[in-house]
Structure 1
């Protein structure tokens, strides 16, 4: 399925004072999500994401860059909209469970402090009620039935505000993630060339979807031919890839073109290229070098118009060092490398993926809702199997809730927290430094968190949240 082009009504800037900025993305010109080819080179700045409205999950998410903002105010309104005035970002959401003035987030001494404004339904941060707390990277805020995510590690690229509400043309490559947006934009830039593309990412991150989009934008007349290198029987690899002549071996009763020849004039997508056997690696290297193929049992080279997109979840350089992958083949395949982020690093896109799934398996459910507990479970789960796992979980939940809201009971046990799928994510350098300082203080005070809170001039609840986030074993430090 091809992605859609998106357009943002405002360029990459902060709105003028008093200007309402829905910045609704719609069909049209390409939405420029990146200003640099490599997002890792961009500075990291704080953003606020609206990830999910439980009562309107198909409306879509939004994001706001907080550069130049001193205060954020969030409350209930008749429609979802935002404006900036005098360095204050005001956000309104039509959530009946929110108060008109629900919370404020202030930029204080380099940090961001969230404060409940006396709302009837208190602010929850990572599931815990809080009157006031300093926000940390990745914190999930629940306001009424709406979830926001605060992040400090977002590349400073793209528009200041992007809001997907009202967008009917959401495609599989639509994104609020600057990191994934950069990947999509780079893939479009190389699509019409013949340079090989290597897609690297965990299983289920959408490598085949991106490969199909590259082919769709390439202008090549032939088909995209997907090949799972790890699923070919070892004794048939060369025959399946390169074809064979009649009588080439026992059972070869007729000529067969093979997948490489079938992709002539189109795109050959080699999924799990790291699993390609060594003998086939050598033969395929020659195909890439000479742009021609010799079928098994044949003697005359046949010219090819070949474009290769390969994908892997392996570290191919490590496989080269271990002698399991040819370095010269890697050099041929690695024309442009695109690294797809894991779903846990782009949770803001979960509502967009939800829209696609509902459209696919339950188009009759435009009034779909989530209970807040189910919404929190989906947004806090790590999704080790990425988009594929999300699709299966939501498909199952839709089947178990033919009408009404999706509840926690409709979700898999792993998602609701009864199983631990993987260790916590890798900390950013800033978080690692903060964790080390916190561990030192806790050890100095014999595990007394109240004493640590007094030293840091923070509430004990805040210290508990940090301890949970960083996985600190306080009991081992108690005197």
Structure 2
């Protein structure tokens, strides 16, 4: 087999000007999930400076890099009795990375099929070695500050929600951790169920603020009492106002106010909230004197606020105040490499008897990796709770998990899940937003509520060159 070096790929984006001229991409191999010990977490290994990977049994999970002559060798050890001492190999070739079983006792599997001979890997392929699932990614952003090798046993996140093996997510969380102690308003964007409140609580925990964390669902407040509940009221200001009430905002004084589903806040309340952000003071309903408040605002939504501003559904000046720092949470289908980390965390936190003794069948493990998780981490949490209740022998089987929905990840497809619907409408939307933002892909991703890598994949699919929209 011919061993050839693989060149780095770069994706240029005007929005990154001043930080770096392009984001380098490199291949990775992730240890995602161990079915016989779901709490064991996983590991990541960068392959940019590797020619050969061998996977076999070891006393503990470990990785060693060495040179065998001219061959740069990565040796991965996995602790399980059903794994052979040398079980499988990955080798770099001119075409890409190739997987080959090393005449193991129990065989190697690729996307659920037993490997016979050398097989070229494609982005998103799932490799099974005994009860362990690994995942190959052909090109992920490789930030200089993010280590190529990382095992979850070495992860010590300073707050819940910060544990990740994904290089891209890790880079974003490093930035969010730097923002947390600063008095900067944070806007969390992402689909429903991606863990926005978990991150909001983490920002508060890392902020060092003495006051409480107060969460309010803006979509759950009754319209007739919304301003009274947010800003408080004085006795007698309306029927039923039997006493003075400080309101939700004042109750977060010296702490953090988390405004969940901020996109559902009615326009009149938006105007009053804008005053709070500008003046740092609250006027109660029926009151005349403003009261100073010291608080940190973290807001969250799954709605496209920029588009809502254009339609007159959200105040542009309020959005500008909320957007001190924007953080986009990736949907679970775009960070399947973190599935084992998230499963372990959920099993520890859920009220499940003997959760540490639970196991997964390998068919169940494959289902978890291939299911599209349209409702994200929240859906995974519910699925694990139900599955743990259904099992009678401590082993979660495929029958205990949700049925694979139409559009579930195909074995050879990448992690990113493309929207169903009219492809031509999607193409037109991309072109419209590229024209609006002069080819700045990061801004297009923000408007669509998607990861930037998703936008690049769509552009590649439709043959769209963002450079054509960067003139003028």
Q: TM-score range by the shorter chain?
A: 0.7 to 0.9
Tell me which residue corresponds to 1:206: 195
Tell me which residue corresponds to 1:406: 396
Residue 41 (structure 1) shift? 5.2
TM-score of the two chains, using structure 1 as the length reference: 0.78
Tell me which residue corresponds to 2:122: 136
Q: 2:46–2:148: 8 Å Cα contact kept in structure 1?
A: yes
Whether 2:58 is the aligned partner of 1:77: answer yes
Cα deviation 1:307-361 (Å, max 9, x = unaligned): 1110111111011111110100000110011111111121222222222222232
- 2:250 and 2:459 map into 1 onto residues whose CA distance is 54
- Is the deviation greater in 275-284 or in 173-182? 173-182
Q: 1:183–1:340: 8 Å Cα contact kept in structure 2?
A: no
User: Where in structure 2 are the equivalents of 1:440-479 lying within 5 Å?
Assistant: none
Whether 2:170 is the aligned partner of 1:181: answer yes
Tell me which residue corresponds to 2:289: 300
Whether 2:425 is the aligned partner of 1:425: answer no
Tell me which residue corresponds to 2:313: 324
Segments of structure 2 that go 5 or more residues without pairing to the other structure are 1-16, 411-415, 419-452, 464-472
Please give the secondary structure, in 1, of the residue aligned with 2:239: coil
CA RMSD of aligned residues (A): 2.7
Q: 1:371–1:407: 8 Å Cα contact kept in structure 2?
A: yes
Matching residue within 121, 126, 135 for 2:106: 121
Relative distance call for 1:106 and 1:205 in structure 2 (3 A) is: same
Residue 129 (structure 1) shift? 2.5
Matching residue within 357, 366, 389 for 1:376: 366
- 2:91 and 2:294 map into 1 onto residues whose CA distance is 58
TM-score of the two chains, using structure 2 as the length reference: 0.79
Tell me which residue corresponds to 2:384: 394
Matching residue within 237, 251, 271 for 1:282: 271
- 1:274 and 1:154 map into 2 onto residues whose CA distance is 32
- 2:245 and 2:210 map into 1 onto residues whose CA distance is 21
Segments of structure 1 that go 5 or more residues without pairing to the other structure are 1-35, 438-479
- 2:258 and 2:121 map into 1 onto residues whose CA distance is 43
Please give the secondary structure, in 2, of the residue aligned with 1:253: coil
Residue 262 (structure 1) shift? 0.9
- 1:166 and 1:56 map into 2 onto residues whose CA distance is 17
User: Where in structure 2 are the equivalents of 1:42-441 lying within 5 Å?
Assistant: 42-86=23-67, 87-109=72-94, 111-131=96-116, 132-157=118-143, 158-165=146-153, 171-360=160-349, 361-362=351-352, 364-413=354-403, 417=404, 420=407, 425-426=417-418
Cα deviation 1:29-79 (Å, max 9, x = unaligned): xxxxxxx99899531111000001111221110110111101111122333
Relative distance call for 1:418 and 1:198 in structure 2 (3 A) is: closer
- 1:135 and 1:251 map into 2 onto residues whose CA distance is 67
Residue 98 (structure 1) shift? 2.5
- 1:332 and 1:431 map into 2 onto residues whose CA distance is 32
Q: 2:52–2:91: 8 Å Cα contact kept in structure 1?
A: yes
Residue 402 (structure 1) shift? 4.8
Relative distance call for 1:432 and 1:247 in structure 2 (3 A) is: closer
Q: 1:241–1:258: 8 Å Cα contact kept in structure 2?
A: yes
- 2:255 and 2:456 map into 1 onto residues whose CA distance is 46
Tell me which residue corresponds to 2:445: none
Q: 1:40–1:155: 8 Å Cα contact kept in structure 2?
A: no
Q: 2:156–2:163: 8 Å Cα contact kept in structure 1?
A: no
Residue 85 (structure 1) shift? 1.5
Residue 386 (structure 1) shift? 0.9
Relative distance call for 1:419 and 1:264 in structure 2 (3 A) is: same
